[in-house]
Amino acid sequence: MKVFRSLLGGTLAVVLAASVAAYYWTRDSAGSARSRNPSAADEALVDTSQLQRAVSLASLAATRDEQAQAREAWQLADHELDLTYAAALREAEAQAAAPTAGPLRQLSDRIADLKLRVDADQKRVDALGAAGGDDLDRAQAQLTLDQDELDDAQQDLARDGGDKREQLARLLQEHASSDKVADQDMKFPSPAPTGTMREQVSAWLAMGDYEGQLQAAAQAATAQALALLNQHNALERQVPAQPDASASTARLKQLAGQRKDLSSLDERIQDTRQLATVYQRWSGVAETRRRAVLHLLLGSLAAILGILLATVLLNQATRHLFHAADRRRLHQLRLIVRIALQVAAVLAILLVIFGPPTQLSTIIGLVTAGLTVVMKDFIVAFFGWFTLMGKNGIRVGDWVEIEGVSGEVIEIGVFKTVLLELGNWTETGHPTGRRVAFSNSFAMERHYFNFSTGGQWLWDEIRATLPPGGDPYEMARKIREIVDKATEADAGEAAKDWERVTRQYGAREFSAKPAVELRPGTMGLDVVVRYITRAQQRNAVKTKVFDEMVEVLRQPAMSPKQDAAEQLPQNRR
């Protein structure tokens, strides 16, 4: 055990030293929006993943430095998305062409006719504007009707995929509106609490996932920059440095659009590269915060190890402190001190891990629960005292049996009952001189026997082996006469006492008459005598009955004829 305690103390000391060293090694680290779900059309036409990722990560930025990186990432991703929308619109304009057949062709022709009708209606309204009257009202109503029909047809064409420009324009308008709301309502969370070890572990694990998301976002931005660069290089190879002098106007417009696309791709490449750099810086800031949390976590671990080491050392100190004490009290004092040290250590460790309870109701509940657990025996003993003082309890001077110990009650306290122990009641019944104390909880949780009810009656028993050669039935008859004569008065009074009890509670009646039985034994036949007697007089009665039984058993064995012959002269006399 000494080797084990020394090894335990040494191990705790080494681990504590390592924790303290790590705590000081990480000490430098201690000082340092709203998401939108894109629609299905947005996902199909424009890639908004960069902005979504920036918005999602911004909701995790807790410190000022992280929030600055989050704002910059948000702005870069938003600018890159604006350029993406603009490029998609130019591409849709360049690819726009009237459908050649099918329902889309019919819808396109209808839109063209409606546009001509709307222009004609507008000219008529302008012409009738000065005259006024019913003709003007009729012309304005017709213009409104044709304009609504044109808007509905254009929406139908956009819904069926025939006008990509209309869809992109609508999505770009929604994006611009949401940006204005996001700029006004850009909120960041507060740093997670790290006051207790439990909170520190939770924050450290969350920061690990946070850094992983930042690294993934940086890799995604880098991959998109590379893809845009490849797209730029492919387009640049298609655009000539100088257009032909004979190029048509349409060709020149096409080349101008491609140059705009190249310029837009350059800006998008720059934005995505900067975005990857911002995510890397953001990850570095998050790593600094994670190291700060690790610093606090190591401090809490060092505190716990320090508490454990102090407990081990104090345990060893108490062993030497009580070495010279009285040996009869040494074990008790050492046990009390060790329990107190262990309880204090457990409470201190719980405070480090979970912290002190902050709510008054929680504190009261914990204190009440702790006192109930600690004071359980005292509380049960106190209520047991009321039970013992009741009608069916015990009194000083009663002969009782509690938890297998028999004796006379000499003291009934609020928490303890004291007996003067008696020897085995089937043998002598004399006091042993020992005082036995019991917690009064036995009256609530267990049972006890009180032999001092009414006349303090109890059953006693005598067992003896019959000598060989005699008539066992005759001996049993004579012994029965002896017992009847010796216990006749007590049996009558006991029957009266028990009759009152059975009448009160409705229980069946008891017989107080003695009983004599013959049973086979190892040496022949045994006679067993059971009789009722007062508890205080049992020894005297037992001695008297036993002496007369011995006289009967000592008589020489006679045959039934000899016994009849002896009885005949006596009868004549």
Radius of gyration of the chain (CA): 53
Residue 181's pLDDT is 45
Residue 132's pLDDT is 66
Token readout for 172 is 């770009």
- Spatial separation of the C-alpha atoms in residues 377 and 466, rounded to whole Å: 53
Q: Is there a contact between 57 and 217 (Cβ–Cβ < 8 Å)?
A: yes
Q: Is there a contact between 66 and 286 (Cβ–Cβ < 8 Å)?
A: yes
Is residue 494 classed as helix, strand or coil in its secondary structure? helix
Q: Is there a contact between 526 and 464 (Cβ–Cβ < 8 Å)?
A: yes
The pTM for the full model equals 0.51
Residue 428's pLDDT is 43
**Which residues are paired to 406 by β-bridges?**
401
Residue 39's pLDDT is 43
Query: In 3-state terms, the chain is what percent helix, strand and coil (to 5)?
Result: 70, 10, 20
- Spatial separation of the C-alpha atoms in residues 419 and 394, rounded to whole Å: 12
- Please name the residues in contact with 411: beta carbons below 8 A apart, sequence gap of 6 or more: 396, 417, 418
Residue 36's pLDDT is 40
- Please name the residues in contact with 267: beta carbons below 8 A apart, sequence gap of 6 or more: 79, 83
| Longest CA span, the chain | 178
pLDDT along the chain (573 residues), means of 10: 58 71 60 40 65 85 87 86 81 59 69 84 80 77 83 68 60 62 62 86 90 93 92 84 69 77 87 92 91 91 91 83 56 73 87 76 73 79 84 80 84 86 57 81 82 66 79 82 82 75 59 80 80 76 82 64 49 45
Long-range CB contacts (< 8 A, 24+ apart) of 354-360? 354/196, 354/197, 354/198, 355/195, 355/196, 355/198, 355/199
Q: Is there a contact between 516 and 480 (Cβ–Cβ < 8 Å)?
A: yes
